[in-house]
């Protein structure tokens, strides 16, 4: 779901000053209205039809639900008025004077526009002032007391402002519930509260709070405590977005722990796997020991598809279309906006379990991904990140708010073989402040003082060490905890 860019529009504010000596007006009807001699009548025209001579531009949005106008300035009390969205022309009286600041907030059911104009209201003037209404952000939906109720298994197009949107599912007959968040327009985060209807205690470790990768897909999977028919609660957090975000939520309830849905994927209906997140599944004897999957990817970007074994060796085939044309190599450069892949367990037993990863490198030396440090222990944030294979690198930048702290920077839950480097410069060159180069599937940790940052940032590079082999690249959790 790609959102079109929000457009700005203009309203026209017409000021008519009622002078003490000679009462003047903008129209005959206005002259009959009772005004004090030191007040100004303000007519705010929200109409969308252009008129010759004024500065009204593109049309106001449809579906306006509220209009709020606030006026401030020297020597006057705060003036605030709410108007009906059915009014195309609204009026209010304000004291005349210098530096009158008009702030207009217009809301629809989904978004907010804000405009500001500053004007000096002198005696005997009639002026028209355009107020540019700029897109301010999306509006969050749901509340802790009344969350949005979603279907047990299905998709939902949602939105969040710079706060939180609240959701729940109510389902019966299933012990496990999976929620995926994808196609985000900005860095929205998925937070699972499990069975907590008060939205107080989130499920830890909170792997859904994906503060790295920005708009990478996120997945939470929650297993109930042995009973079924319970409600499941989760939040989409927009606090790391600029204006909020839109996204798609996919819900899926099933039985069987972390094993994927039954029946398994088929060529016409493959299972969806989020990029950058380990996907726990199994190959069953159904379909001749074949399971089918796909992921949404970006054309021209390099990816690796990995099977990380648990029981036996499974065969992996990766396709650039829906199971017809196989990629010659893996890692591969995406030829389309989706990748399809098949796991073949015909040489082993039924129901063999394993993990799938679809990974790409993140950021660049010139444009590293922003991540956020936790400056106290026990916060529980998880920065789920990834790096592609073929010896590539991912780049991150972390701002240091308190340079008096010592930071423990770690990469954990690694499926492949990666190395960790921390630098004090944005070129990611020279001698690093610290490095960790352990072997495969081993945590990497660097401890560095905040005072060693030259510009208030640490620059972190993750290198893939598996090269062109398959599997290669890895998902991992990147954390930075200060104390």
pLDDT of residue 294: 92
Domain 148-254, CATH number (from 2.60.120.380, 1.10.287.70, 3.30.1130.10, 3.40.50.1370): 2.60.120.380
186 Cβ contact partners less than 8 Å away, ≥ 6 residues apart: 214, 215, 238, 241, 242, 243, 244, 245
| Other beta carbons less than 10 A from residue 308's beta carbon | 17
Tens digits of per-residue pLDDT, 97-131?
888 898 888 888 888 888 888 888 766 565 666 67
> 9-136 belongs to which CATH class?
mainly beta
**Average pLDDT over all residues of the chain:** 76
Stretch(es) of the chain classified as CATH 2.60.40: 9-136
Q: How many CB atoms lie within 10 A of CB 47?
A: 14
Prior bond of 87 cis (ω within 30°): no
| pLDDT tens by residue, 35-80 | 334 656 566 655 544 343 333 334 567 778 888 888 899 988 998 8
pLDDT in tens, 268-325: 888 888 788 788 777 665 555 678 899 989 999 999 999 886 655 678 899 999 999 9
- Whole-prediction pTM: 0.58
Answer yes or no: CATH 2.60.120.380 is held by domain 271-359.
yes
Specify the domain boundaries for CATH 2.60.120.380 within the chain: 148-254, 271-359, 369-482
What is the rounded radius of gyration, in angstroms, for the C-alpha atoms of the chain?
Answer: 28
User: pLDDT tens for residues 241-262?
Assistant: 778 889 888 887 766 433 344 4
pLDDT in tens, 189-246: 888 888 889 998 877 544 444 444 444 555 555 555 445 457 888 899 887 777 888 9
Q: What CATH architecture does domain 369-482 belong to?
A: Sandwich (2.60)
- pLDDT surpasses 80 at 176: no
* Confidence grade of residue 22 (pLDDT, cut at 50, 70, 90): very low
**Pairing mode of beta strands 218-223, 271-272:** unpaired
Return the exposure string of 147-177: e unless at least 16 CB atoms fall within 10 Å of the residue's CB, then b.
bbebebbeeeebbbbbebbbbbbebeebbbb
């Amino acid at each position: 779901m790609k959102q079109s860019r929000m457009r700005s529009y203009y309203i026209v504010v017409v000021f008519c000053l009622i002078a003490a000596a000679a009462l003047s007006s903008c129209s005959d009807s206005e002259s009959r209205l009772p005004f004090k001699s030191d007040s100004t009548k303000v007519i705010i025209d929200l109409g969308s039809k252009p008129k010759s001579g004024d500065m009204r531009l593109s049309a106001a949005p449809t579906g306006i639900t509220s209009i709020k106008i606030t006026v401030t300035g020297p020597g006057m009390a705060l003036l605030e008025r709410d108007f009906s969205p059915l009014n195309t022309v609204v009026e209010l009286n304000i004291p005349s004077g210098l530096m009158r600041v008009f702030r207009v907030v217009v809301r629809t059911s989904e978004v907010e526009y804000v405009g500001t104009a500053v004007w000096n209201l002198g005696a005997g003037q009639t002026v028209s002032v355009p107020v540019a209404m700029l897109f301010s952000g999306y509006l969050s939906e749901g509340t802790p007391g009344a969350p949005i109720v979603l279907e047990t298994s299905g998709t939902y197009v949602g939105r969040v402002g710079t706060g939180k949107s609240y959701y729940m599912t109510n389902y019966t007959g299933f012990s496990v519930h999976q929620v995926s968040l994808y196609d985000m327009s900005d860095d929205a985060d998925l937070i699972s509260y499990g069975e907590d209807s008060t939205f107080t205690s989130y499920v830890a470790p909170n792997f859904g709070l994906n503060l790295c990768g920005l708009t990478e897909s996120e997945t939470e999977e929650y297993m109930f405590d042995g009973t079924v028919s319970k409600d499941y609660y989760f939040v989409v957090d927009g606090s790391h977005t600029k204006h909020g975000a839109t996204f798609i939520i996919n819900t899926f309830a099933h039985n069987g722990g972390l094993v994927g849905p039954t029946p398994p994927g088929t060529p016409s209906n493959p299972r969806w796997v989020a990029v950058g997140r380990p996907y726990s599944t199994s190959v069953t004897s159904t379909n001749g020991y074949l399971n089918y999957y796909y992921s949404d990817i970006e054309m021209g970007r390099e990816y690796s598809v990995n099977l990380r074994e648990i029981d036996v060796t499974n065969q992996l085939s990766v396709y650039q279309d829906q199971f017809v044309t196989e990629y010659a190599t893996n890692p591969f450069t995406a030829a389309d906006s989706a990748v399809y892949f098949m796991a073949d367990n015909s040489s082993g037993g039924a129901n063999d379990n394993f993990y799938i990863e679809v990974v790409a490198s993140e950021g660049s030396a010139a444009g590293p991904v922003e991540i956020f440090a936790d400056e106290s222990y026990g916060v529980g944030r998880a920065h789920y990140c990834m790096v592609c294979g073929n010896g590539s690198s991912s780049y991150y930048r972390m701002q240091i708010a308190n340079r008096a702290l010592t930071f423990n920077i770690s990469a954990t839950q690694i499926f492949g073989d990666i190395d960790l480097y921390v630098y004090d410069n944005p070129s990611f060159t020279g001698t690093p402040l610290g490095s960790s180069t352990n072997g495969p599937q081993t945590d990497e940790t660097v401890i560095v003082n905040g005072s060693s940052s030259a510009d208030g940032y640490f620059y972190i590079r993750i290198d893939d060490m598996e090269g062109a082999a398959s599997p290669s690249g890895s998902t991992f959790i990147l954390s930075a905890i200060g104390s």
